[in-house]
Structure 1
Amino acid sequence: MREDPDLKSKAAIRRSVRARRGAMPQAVREDATAQLTARLIALTEALGARSVAAYSAVPSEPDTGPFLEWALTQGIDVILPMSLADSRLDWVRYTGVDSLAAGRHGITEPVGPRLGGDAAAGVDLMLVPACAVDEAGTRLGWGMGYYDRCLAQLPASIPVYAVVFDDDRFATLPHDPHDVAITGAVSPGSVTRVLSVTD
């Protein structure tokens, strides 16, 4: 768990995380992917989730691809986000890597019928990208606000886990009143639950 006195602002933390992720050796990244996939599978099975809202990771993020493929082989209903012009998310059912294409902001998104912005409200588990997370369930995103808006409208009963690298876990992070606390975090080294889904 990181406690760096020089990282007091959201902007400083984002710069630090971007630099560290960019310098990660490929062999370390591949090992992290294998460990992360096992953690995500274990969490999904422990929750008995049959529907998951997830995302297609960009190259600098922890790789969710192997987990998404596993979920398809298990008959789990997976939906992925697409970014809209009004800084909100819509959702599309994931049918495989061949159904992905470049979307807004250079992020890979699914191609297919839109399910509506409220589609994530019906899933058993939500996995979200993050720059960093802390022990209290504060999630630091990348500043565009898409997930902040989405999470604010989700039912409190849906478990929401941020997917990060181990070094993206902080003791505390700066947060604003509008920030929505998440249930926990998944990284290659551990799964941490910080909130009960009934809290």
Structure 2
Amino acid sequence: MHDILSKSMMRSRLLSARAALGADTRAAAARSMRDELLAVPEVEMGGTIAAYVSIGDEPDTRSLLFALWKRGAYVLLPLLLPDGDLDWASYEGPDSLAPGPRGLLQPTEKPRGPGAVASADVVLVPAVAVDRTGMRLGRGGGSYDRALARVGPAILTVAPVYDAELVDVLPAEPHDQRVRAALTPSQGLVRFA
């Protein structure tokens, strides 16, 4: 119970700090993270990239999605299911997105099933923060913990976060899944052992 309260308080504090970032700072961060990620060998060689459409103050992924798609990568995006799990469908450009639950933009293509994420060469996951062991703090719904549990141990899983959101330690619960790297504007891709 202590970890749940700690996570909730930490999430609230981090989201407030994120909301205080200026539009110019967020735009510069998005460009920096997009360019850095496009140069990562696993992304350059990856045929299938599972990603997400950022919302609100999250590090912006829209230009990254477009760049991956134009490059010829098969981009999978999540569809939030009623039970909180994630299905996946292909991204076919900006016009292939439609409003979904909880303010999300989701692909309009045919769903591929929750297991489709396991076929990805790289998986990008949203995070409020990541610690130096790869522990990820999400929004609290557990959707991405379920998705990450389906991803093999050799697959690069990356959480894009702002600089202050790469922290030393986060509280963890048994179901929490780690990511293998964080992506920040100033440090680029930070891999975890």
Same fold by TM-score, threshold 0.5 exceeded?
yes
1:145 to 2:161 alignment: no
More helix by share: 2
Task: Report SS of the residue matched to 1:92.
Answer: strand
Q: Distance in 2 between matches of 1:62 and 1:18?
A: 12
Structure 2: tracts of 5 or more residues without a match = none
In structure 2, relative to structure 1, the CA distance for the partners of 1:47 and 1:134 (3 Å cut) is: farther
8 Å contact 2:161–2:184 — kept in the other structure? yes
- Return the letter of the residue paired with 1:146: S
1:176 to 2:146 alignment: no
1:15 equivalent in structure 2: 12
- Matched residue pairs, number? 188
In structure 2, relative to structure 1, the CA distance for the partners of 1:52 and 1:44 (3 Å cut) is: farther
Q: Distance in 2 between matches of 1:158 and 1:70?
A: 21
8 Å contact 1:87–1:146 — kept in the other structure? yes
Q: Distance in 1 between matches of 2:128 and 2:138?
A: 5
Residues 25-53 of structure 1: CA distance to partner in whole angstroms, max 9, x if unpaired?
11111111111111111125666212100
1:105 to 2:127 alignment: no
- Return the letter of the residue paired with 2:56: P
Q: 2:120 aligns with which of 116, 119, 123?
A: 123
> How does the TM-score come out when normalised to structure 1?
0.90
> How does the TM-score come out when normalised to structure 2?
0.93
8 Å contact 1:39–1:187 — kept in the other structure? no
Q: 1:91 aligns with which of 88, 95, 105?
A: 88
2:190 equivalent in structure 1: 192
List, as ranges, runs of 4+ consecutive aligned residues in structure 1 with deviation greater than 3 Å. 44-47
> What is the 5 A alignment of 1:59-98?
59-98=56-95
Moved more, 77-86 or 29-38: 29-38
Structure 1: tracts of 5 or more residues without a match = 1-7
8 Å contact 1:44–1:125 — kept in the other structure? no
Q: Distance in 2 between matches of 1:71 and 1:46?
A: 9
Residues 149-178 of structure 1: CA distance to partner in whole angstroms, max 9, x if unpaired?
111122222111111111111000100122
Task: Report SS of the residue matched to 1:115.
Answer: coil
Percent of pairs with identical residues: 37
Task: Report SS of the residue matched to 2:31.
Answer: helix
Q: 2:28 aligns with which of 9, 17, 31?
A: 31
